[in-house]
Structures are given as structure tokens and as C-alpha cells.
């Protein structure tokens, strides 16, 4: 309300969804979640033709939500209440590794526990998306959420390939290990064997 007033639909500052098809998909997911038992906490107003969806909070604590596991890219936020942080960690572990994990908590012990117990492309503590514009931090996914990282040296390594080239030359040591085995090569092999503990 501080940013967009009491009516986001009338605010010139409130962004619209990029395409009517995406608006329809998000509105469809919202309606599926409500049909499955999700309780509307806030928002819910929508207009697919106008690509508008109000900032919407849904209580999905008591259902298997169709919003789970979706990359929503829109103003839908499913909320799941919990009594024990371990429940949350197990839920995160049970799904694909997220591209980003965001935690709002002032408790340092909670922050350390979540970071230590989870795997994700990146972590934001008490902020959202602010790790992306930090060009000195690698940004990317892990497993299902992607591979490699963008930005700086990490991006250079991800989007390029360090190719090794080895050419055989007259002084290449590996030639000493190849047949034919002259008396010199046999003595050398025995010496290397003794040196490396092979007897």
C-alpha cells in the first residue's frame, strides 16, 4: 500500500504482466489453488485482458498446492505456516534445488542452519533478488535450477571452455615409459618404483 496505494489496478507505478497468455496462466493457477482449498489472505483481483493481477497472498498450509514447484514470475505468493523449522528444511530437501532461496529471519542461528542444511543456486538473507545485480557474486543454479554461474570470472569460466593441448615432443617424459624397454628404461622403471614405494 505504501508503494501503490490502496488500488494497485489504478496505480501507474504497478507493473502489468508481460503477455495476456502469461496473465491467463497465473490467474488459472490462482483459481486452481483456491479450488484446492487455498485461503485468500490478500489481493486476488485480476484482469487477464489487461494483464493485471493484484499482489496476492494465499494460505496454502492445509493443501498440496498447484503453486508448489512452479516458477510463477508474477505477484502470487503461497504462504505455508509451520511450527518446526525442521519441517521446512525437509520440504526444501524433498524438492528440486531452487535457483535462489530467500530467508527472512533476524536469528543468526536460524540463518546459519538454513544455509548449512540446504542447497540452492544462491541465498538471500532478509532481501530479495539483490544478489543478482552484485556483479562480483556468481549467479546461477544447481542441478534442476541450472548449471554454471554468470558474472565476473565465474561467468567467463561458465561460458567459455579451457581446452588443453598436449603435443608429444622429444623430451616428453611419457616416452620413457613406452616400449621398447632398453636396459636404461628398465633401470629407470626400477628406480621410480623404489622411489614411489613399489619395492
- Name the CATH architecture for the domain at 1-81: 3-Layer(aba) Sandwich (3.40)
Q: Which residues of the chain are under the pLDDT cut of 70? A: 166-174, 198-199
Instruction: Determine the pLDDT at residue 117.
Output: 95
Domain ranges of the chain: 1-81
- Quote the Cα angle for 44-49-51, to 5°: 60
Instruction: Determine the pLDDT at residue 95.
Output: 86
127, HSE (Cβ side, Cα atoms, 13 Å):
10
C-alpha span between 105 and 127 (Å, rounded):
10
- Looking at residue 17, the DSSP 8-state letter turns out to be P
- Segment 139-195, tens digit of pLDDT: 888 877 777 787 888 877 888 877 777 666 666 666 777 788 888 888 888 888 888
Copy the grid coordinates of residue 43.
489481493
Task: Collapse the DSSP code of 10 into the 3-class scheme (helix H, G, I; strand E, B; otherwise coil) and give the result.
Answer: helix
Tell me which residue of 84, 78, 83 sits closest to 63, measured CA to CA.
78
Diameter over CA atoms, the chain: 92
Amino acid at each position: 500500500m505504501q508503494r501503490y496505494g490502496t488500488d494497485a489496478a489504478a496505480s501507474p507505478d504497478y507493473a502489468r504482466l508481460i503477455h495476456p497468455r502469461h496473465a491467463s496462466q497465473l490467474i488459472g493457477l490462482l483459481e486452481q489453488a483456491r479450488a484446492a482449498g487455498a485461503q485468500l489472505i490478500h489481493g486476488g483481483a485480476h484482469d487477464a485482458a489487461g494483464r493485471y493481477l493484484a499482489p496476492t497472498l494465499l494460505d496454502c498450509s492445509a493443501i498440496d498446492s498447484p503453486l508448489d514447484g512452479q516458477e510463477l514470475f508474477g505477484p502470487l505468493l503461497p504462504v505455508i505456516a509451520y511450527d518446526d523449522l525442521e519441517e521446512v528444511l525437509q520440504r526444501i530437501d524433498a524438492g528440486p534445488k531452487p535457483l535462489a532461496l530467500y530467508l527472512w529471519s533476524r536469528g543468526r542461528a536460524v540463518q546459519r542452519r538454513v544455509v548449512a542444511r540446504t542447497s540452492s543456486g544462491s541465498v538471500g538473507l532478509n532481501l530479495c533478488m539483490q544478489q543478482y545485480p552484485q556483479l562480483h557474486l556468481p549467479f546461477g543454479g544447481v542441478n534442476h535450477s541450472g548449471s554454471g554461474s554468470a558474472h565476473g570470472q565465474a561467468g567467463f569460466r561458465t561460458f567459455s571452455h579451457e581446452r588443453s593441448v598436449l603435443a608429444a615432443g622429444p623430451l616428453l617424459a611419457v616416452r620413457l615409459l613406452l616400449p621398447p624397454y632398453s636396459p636404461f628404461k628398465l633401470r629407470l622403471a626400477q628406480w621410480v618404483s623404489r622411489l614411489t614405494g613399489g619395492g
